[in-house]
Amino acid sequence: MTNAIEAEGLVKVYPARRGSTEVRALDGVDLQVPQGTVLGLLGPNGAGKTTTVRILTTLLRPDAGRATVAGYDVVTQSNEVRASIGLSGQYAAVDENLTGWENLYMFGRLYGMPKADAKMRANELLEQFTLADAGGRTIKTYSGGMRRRLDLAAALIGKPNLLFLDEPTTGLDPRSRLGMWDVIRGLVREGTTLLLTTQYLEEADELADTIAVVDTGKIIAQGTADELKAQVGGERIEVVVRDRAMLPAARELLGSAAAGEVEFDEHTRRLTAASTGGAQQLVAIVQAMGDAGIEIDDITLRRPTLDDVFLTLTGHHTADETVEENV
Amino acid sequence: MSVQQSGAVSDAMVITWRNLKRIPRIPELAIFAILQSIMFVLLFAFVFGGAIPLPGGGDYKEFLMPGIFAQTIAFASATTAIGMTDDMGKGLIDRFRSLPMSRSAVLSGRTVADTIYQAGILVVLMLAGLVVGWRVHNGLAEFLLAVALLLGFAHVMAWLGIWIGLSVPNTETAQQLTFVTIFPLTFISNVFVPPASLPAILQPIAEWNPVSTLTAATRELFGNPNPYVGDGIPGQYPILVTLAWMVVFLVIFAPLAIRKYRNTSR
């Protein structure tokens, strides 16, 4: 199987500016994305996801390392790369003062299509993304979900086999997000190779074949969702206590019953620990908590999530922000 | 992939189309640009004008209007700069740069569209001028040459605007920067007062200032009062000096703008 995307030792350094020190946005990123598969780049803000996408889509030159996309070098054959890919960025990069149709027609023309083809393609895409009724309205009047769909449609103008989606659902409400997932799954079914960045573990889990976890400019782990989850071991016990004052007592109890570190959140009154004894242990803990007079709002035994993976690998949650990335 | 490289010209035409489409969608931009100029017309024609004597006589309103045209055209760079910064900030430039299109087309398309836009504004201002008493006294050929000079200058200012727009972080800065550079340029000039009335130290600036030479050139071509003629080269040959300014600006700012655009990858 050939690789649609190959990157080796990508480095990008943003020089120091007034009020900030030098930022090493990428510190040696290697990637291989086989044709027809989906790679999810997962990491918090500032991890280097957007920088990676910008380099692979020829918007940014790497300071070191090399990358080929669709078989073309991103630096020396940038025009060929651009003709082979579709990009949908973190911010909806469409003209909000043009209508949906006008945007698609414009991008089609700029892609090199003759007028008639660009018109046909614009109609086709509006239909496909259930925007046909809104096609004559300016983007200003669109909802967030509609904008994202149009932005994605714009990325598909040239029917690329290779698609880059930079945080396609950030800022969308849950319903729009599910709708977007459906659209993306549809594209993948048709054989499109996809590189997707996200800060949502759930999203990477849902859409990606392989997940690369990015933190501070490096890929710190790579594998399928199951492989990554296996790295952090077995199931988790999660307890929510009713009374915040009971947290220390509950923590101690859980610590002695389960294995390893107990993680707890003061605000949500939630405690989490790795389970060693399955359902049997769960029952024992419920009993012990009852004996100790600790009231429980909720207790579950669950499989580890990617958030657990992230915490284990990096020592911090995915939601912890490091540096602002959008330079 | 059977996608052919589209030509720079057809790409530029698409970008021009896009920029012109936007104008009626944001009418407040054009309205305020016109209102600002008309405000200057009213202020100087009816408030200050009476106190400004023209050496050699002549009607102040006829003296004023070509200056207003030149001032408006000089401010064209602000429109372009703000538009460019806006496109950058909204991520549209990234989209263009990710397409297999001509890179210069994004810039040339905008400068063409902005020149057409300024032509529209010029028509409105000329009609306003006719209302307050401005008249054209020379033939059609001179009139057309004056309009061509104004629009050529607008085109050059659009390239300056692109360079500024790509060099600043946001639209507010683009607005402020063009304002503080263009505004003095239009006041230390022959636009509102005869340059002879300026302090001696400012007179050489007012004499060589491109806004002055453009104003003097169009006054001459429209047959309006032009109390500017001196021994200096700009006074003697305002049309030629204006053309020279346009070439200088274009040769400096078009390559700067294109280079800046190429390097905006950051």
Contact A95 B92 (CB under 8 A): yes
Query: What local confidence, expressed as pLDDT, does residue B266 receive?
Result: 47
Spatial distance between the Cα atoms of A111 and A164, rounded to a whole number of angstroms? 17
In terms of Cβ atoms closer than 10 Å to its own Cβ (0-12, 13-18, 19+), residue A123 is middle
* Other beta carbons less than 10 A from residue A135's beta carbon: 20
Q: Is A57 on the interface with B (CB under 8 A)?
A: yes
Could you tell me if B254 and B104 are in contact, meaning their C-beta atoms sit under 8 angstroms apart?
no
Looking at chain A, the whole-number percentage of residues with pLDDT higher than 90 is 46
The crossing angle, in degrees rounded to 10, of helices B171-187 and B140-167 is 140
Could you tell me if B218 and B69 are in contact, meaning their C-beta atoms sit under 8 angstroms apart?
yes
Strand pairing class (A193-198; A162-166):
parallel
Per-residue pLDDT tens over the stretch A85-117: 999 977 658 999 999 999 999 999 999 999 999
User: Among A95, A139, A151, which would you mutate to test the B interface (most chain B Cβ atoms within 10 Å of its Cβ)?
Assistant: A95
Q: Is B9 on the interface with A (CB under 8 A)?
A: no
Chains A and B: how many Cβ contacts under 8 Å? 89
CA distances from B230 to B60, B149, B204, B236 (A): 20, 21, 11, 7
CA A267, A273, A277: angle at the middle one, nearest 5? Answer: 145
Could you tell me if A134 and A104 are in contact, meaning their C-beta atoms sit under 8 angstroms apart?
no
User: From first to last of its 327 residues, what are the pLDDT tens digits of chain A?
Assistant: 589 999 999 999 988 777 778 888 899 999 999 999 999 999 888 889 999 999 999 999 999 999 999 999 999 999 899 999 999 977 658 999 999 999 999 999 999 999 999 999 999 999 999 999 999 999 999 998 899 899 999 999 999 999 999 999 888 888 888 988 998 999 999 999 999 999 888 899 899 999 999 988 999 989 998 888 777 767 888 899 888 888 888 888 888 877 677 888 888 889 888 887 778 888 888 888 888 888 888 888 887 777 777 777 877 766 544 444 443
User: Among B9, B95, B103, B110, which would you mutate to test the A interface (most chain A Cβ atoms within 10 Å of its Cβ)?
Assistant: B95
User: From first to last of its 266 residues, what are the pLDDT tens digits of chain B?
Assistant: 334 444 889 999 999 999 999 999 989 988 988 998 899 899 888 888 888 888 877 889 999 999 999 999 999 899 999 999 999 988 899 899 889 998 889 999 999 999 999 999 999 999 999 999 999 999 999 999 999 999 999 999 999 999 999 999 888 999 899 888 888 888 888 888 888 888 889 888 888 999 999 999 999 999 998 886 667 888 889 999 999 999 999 999 999 999 999 877 54
Query: What local confidence, expressed as pLDDT, does residue B265 receive?
Result: 59
Strand pairing class (A85-88; A162-166):
parallel
- Nearest Cα residue to A256 out of A245, A271, A267, A270: A271
Query: What local confidence, expressed as pLDDT, does residue A318 receive?
Result: 61
Q: Is B2 on the interface with A (CB under 8 A)?
A: no
Could you tell me if A160 and A128 are in contact, meaning their C-beta atoms sit under 8 angstroms apart?
no
Spatial distance between the Cα atoms of A82 and A2, rounded to a whole number of angstroms? 19
Closest chain A residue to B94, measured at CA: A59
Q: Is A98 on the interface with B (CB under 8 A)?
A: yes
Contact B92 A84 (CB under 8 A): no
Secondary structure, 3-state, A190-255: CCCEEEEEECCHHHHHHHCCEEEEEECCEEEEEECHHHHHHHCCCCEEEEEECCHHHHHHHHHHHH
**Amino acid code (one letter) for A229:** K
The two tokens of residue B84 are 């460019």
CA distance B16 to chain A (A): 11
Contact B98 A57 (CB under 8 A): yes
Identify all chain B residues contacting A93, using CB atoms and an 8 Å cutoff. Answer: 90-92, 94-95
CA distance A175 to chain B (A): 25
Query: What local confidence, expressed as pLDDT, does residue B200 receive?
Result: 87
Residue-wise DSSP of B71-114: HHHHTHHHHHHHHHHHHHHTTHHHHHHTSSS-HHHHHHHHHHHH
Spatial distance between the Cα atoms of A301 and A36, rounded to a whole number of angstroms? 35
Contact B1 A83 (CB under 8 A): yes
Q: Is A89 on the interface with B (CB under 8 A)?
A: yes
Q: Is A4 on the interface with B (CB under 8 A)?
A: no
Indicate left, alpha or beta for B108 from its phi (over 0: left) and psi (-120 to 50: alpha). Answer: alpha
Identify all chain B residues contacting A138, using CB atoms and an 8 Å cutoff. Answer: 25
Q: Is B4 on the interface with A (CB under 8 A)?
A: yes
Cα-flanking dihedrals φ and ψ of residue A47, to 5°? Answer: -75, -25
Mean pLDDT, chain A, as a whole number? 87
Of B4, B92, B98, the CB nearest to A112: B4
| Polymer length in residues for chain B | 266
Query: What local confidence, expressed as pLDDT, does residue A19 receive?
Result: 73
In which residue are the tokens 């035409």 written? B13
CA B109, A152, A108: angle at the middle one, nearest 5? Answer: 35
What residue ranges define each of the domains in chain A, with the CATH number in brackets?
3-230 (3.40.50.300), 234-303 (3.30.70.100)
Which segments within chain A are labelled E, that is strand? 3-14, 23-34, 38-42, 64-69, 72-73, 85-88, 162-166, 193-198, 210-215, 218-223, 236-241, 259-265, 270-274, 296-302
The two tokens of residue A96 are 């909000």
Contact A97 B96 (CB under 8 A): no
Contact A111 B4 (CB under 8 A): no
Per-residue pLDDT tens over the stretch A260-285: 778 888 888 898 888 877 788 888 88
Contact B97 A58 (CB under 8 A): yes
Virtual CA dihedral for A277, A279, A282, A288, nearest 10 degrees? Answer: -90
Of B4, B14, B266, the CB nearest to A106: B14
Contact B17 A106 (CB under 8 A): yes
Contact B6 A107 (CB under 8 A): no
CA distances from B104 to A120, B156, B249 (A): 27, 15, 18
User: Among A85, A90, A97, A170, which would you mutate to test the B interface (most chain B Cβ atoms within 10 Å of its Cβ)?
Assistant: A97
Closest chain A residue to B26, measured at CA: A97
Query: What local confidence, expressed as pLDDT, does residue B220 receive?
Result: 93
Contact A83 B14 (CB under 8 A): no
Closest chain B residue to A92, measured at CA: B91
CA distance B265 to chain A (A): 5
Identify all chain A residues contacting B14, using CB atoms and an 8 Å cutoff. Answer: 106, 109-110
CB within 8 Å of A180: residues ≥ 6 apart: A145, A148, A149, A152, A168, A169, A172
- Chain centroid to Cα A230, Å, comes to 20
Closest chain B residue to A97, measured at CA: B22
Q: Where are the alpha helices (DSSP H) in B133-170?
A: 140-167
Contact A98 B22 (CB under 8 A): yes
Could you tell me if B75 and B152 are in contact, meaning their C-beta atoms sit under 8 angstroms apart?
no
List the 62-121 stretch of B: residues with Cβ below 8 A of A: 90-92, 94-101, 105
Contact A79 B26 (CB under 8 A): no
